[in-house]
Homo-oligomer: A and B are copies of this chain.
Amino acid sequence: MTKLESYLQEHREVFEQDLFELLRIPSISASSEARPDVLAAGQWVADRLTGMGLETELISTDGHPIVFAQTPSVANGPTVLVYGHYDVQPPDPLAEWHSPPFEPTVRNGNVVARGATDDKGQMLTHVQSVRAWLATVGKLPIQIKFLIEGEEEVGSRALHHYLPDHTDQLACDVVVISDTSQFGPGMPAITYGLKGIAYFELTLTGAKQDLHSGTFGGAVANPANALTQLLARFIDNQGRVQIPGFYDDVIPVEDRERQNFAALPFDETRFMQRLEVDALAGEVGYTTLERRWVRPTFDINGLTSGYQGEGAKTVLPASASAKFSFRLVPNQDPTKIAAALRAFLQQHCPPGIRLQLAEMHHSPGVVVSLDSPYVHAAATAIHRAFERPPVFIREGGSIPVVTAFRQHLGSDTLLLGWGQDDDNTHGPNEKFSLADYHRGIRASAYLWEELGKISRRG
């Protein structure tokens, strides 16, 4: 491995410049205006893979394109599907960024930019490791397929359409995804559980237009008042969701798992200090890690109504809307949750208010078996690259495609996070440690070697 390791060492600068190039493309999949930029980012990834000698396709969809590329198959070796995404979240609120979100800036050893950790930086670690193998060994000990999409942040619609019809092309023994976090600095983790999500937008409408709140207030239903009343019903003062049936399919947390989590070096005081909050809050009867990883939650993601400008406007708004989402645990069915929610809202919607509920993206949660040989290979590769064994954790975020891969390809997924949970994912000043970028590339390079020791299934 000496030649490979020298290559990784000598190309640190090249790998970083590569990352900065991709981060400069504002590939915001939620914005229709950013459509050409999203395409440019997809094209960039495809060009990079083609340039490494991979058989590559930029697959058009009715949304943003999917990049597919592969190395030759290897007799008796397993096939790995590397999944990632080149799209990013919107950069709002812009005013809170210390440097422009699409001008990657290095501060304190981190690259700061939208998409740095989610997922451009993490995704590229696998691209660079394959490049290193090809440039030094000339071939890989396993077959690697890349599937890099451009709609992860808006629900992966095109990929979910593509997947069921292309199971032969995508067939693999295991999926590898780096889109999660380490447990802490220098504490790499394998994430074996993810929450699901069910995201909605609720719009309440009252009178045909905004009214004077003096002339009509108190006599005509106010959609903003109604919105707060409806949303306040979602959770009781114990932090428990009040939608009938919401907890029906939740599997209680096992004592063993609670003990594992309790043994992790999680410093709640530091956690609060970092967030600048003087108290934590959540479902009564659970620890902070349990709330984050294994209990379903409800969060309002956005509120909009009436006058939001400077000063005061005495208006009775014609409409009010909220974006909100439930984070679901494995075995909760988002479709059942959506139906229960709709019934709950209809039951409680007050007179004089019309209700519209849009179901945005949703996916169930997953748990990966810790007994898989692929998990063991990953643990060894990480141990070698990070010089300590990984911890095994769960995560509150959602990676809906993990469920889809299990469903359509029958594959386990290795969630190997190189990020940190203070990377400001989805927030201003998103960052990614450059040291972890390089360790991630190294761990990925070792992973191909470790996976090569496993005989192909069957």
Give me the interface of A with B, judged by CB distance under 8 Å.
29-32, 89-90, 92-93, 96, 153-155, 181, 195, 197, 199, 201, 206-222, 224-225, 227-229, 231-233, 235, 239, 275-283, 288, 291-292, 295-317, 320, 322-323, 325, 327, 350-352, 360-361, 395-398, 421, 424-429
Q: Whole-angstrom distance from the CB of A287 to the nearest CB of chain B? A: 9
Please, which residues of chain B bring their CB within 8 A of the CB of A292?
215-219
By the criterion CB–CB under 8 Å, are A300 and B291 in contact?
no
By the criterion CB–CB under 8 Å, are A427 and B209 in contact?
yes
Q: Whole-angstrom distance from the CB of A57 to the nearest CB of chain B? A: 26
Q: Whole-angstrom distance from the CB of A276 to the nearest CB of chain B? A: 4
By the criterion CB–CB under 8 Å, are A313 and B225 in contact?
no
How many protomers of this protein does the assembly include? 2
By the criterion CB–CB under 8 Å, are A210 and B427 in contact?
yes
Complex Cα spacing A314 to B197, Å: 10
Residue of B with least CB distance to A360: B312
Please, which residues of chain B bring their CB within 8 A of the CB of A93?
210
Q: Whole-angstrom distance from the CB of A364 to the nearest CB of chain B? A: 14
Please, which residues of chain B bring their CB within 8 A of the CB of A32?
310
Complex Cα spacing A96 to B278, Å: 43
Complex Cα spacing A160 to B430, Å: 48
Most buried by B among A220, A231, A424, A429: A220
Complex Cα spacing A164 to B302, Å: 45
Complex Cα spacing A73 to B311, Å: 39
Q: Whole-angstrom distance from the CB of A284 to the nearest CB of chain B? A: 12
Complex Cα spacing A211 to B277, Å: 12
By the criterion CB–CB under 8 Å, are A310 and B396 in contact?
no
- Contacts A/B (CB < 8 Å), 21 sampled: A30-B312, A197-B214, A197-B314, A199-B312, A206-B277, A210-B427, A216-B275, A216-B396, A220-B275, A224-B299, A225-B298, A227-B228, A227-B303, A232-B232, A232-B233, A280-B351, A302-B306, A302-B313, A304-B304, A308-B323, A314-B325
Contact of A310 among B30, B233, B297 (CB under 8 A): B30
Complex Cα spacing A274 to B208, Å: 8
Residue of B with least CB distance to A320: B303
Complex Cα spacing A309 to B154, Å: 13
Residue of B with least CB distance to A89: B313
Contact of A195 among B214, B231, B306, B396 (CB under 8 A): B214
Please, which residues of chain B bring their CB within 8 A of the CB of A231?
225, 228, 232
Please, which residues of chain B bring their CB within 8 A of the CB of A197?
214, 314
Residue of B with least CB distance to A199: B312
By the criterion CB–CB under 8 Å, are A228 and B225 in contact?
no
By the criterion CB–CB under 8 Å, are B306 and A305 in contact?
no
Q: Whole-angstrom distance from the CB of A181 to the nearest CB of chain B? A: 7
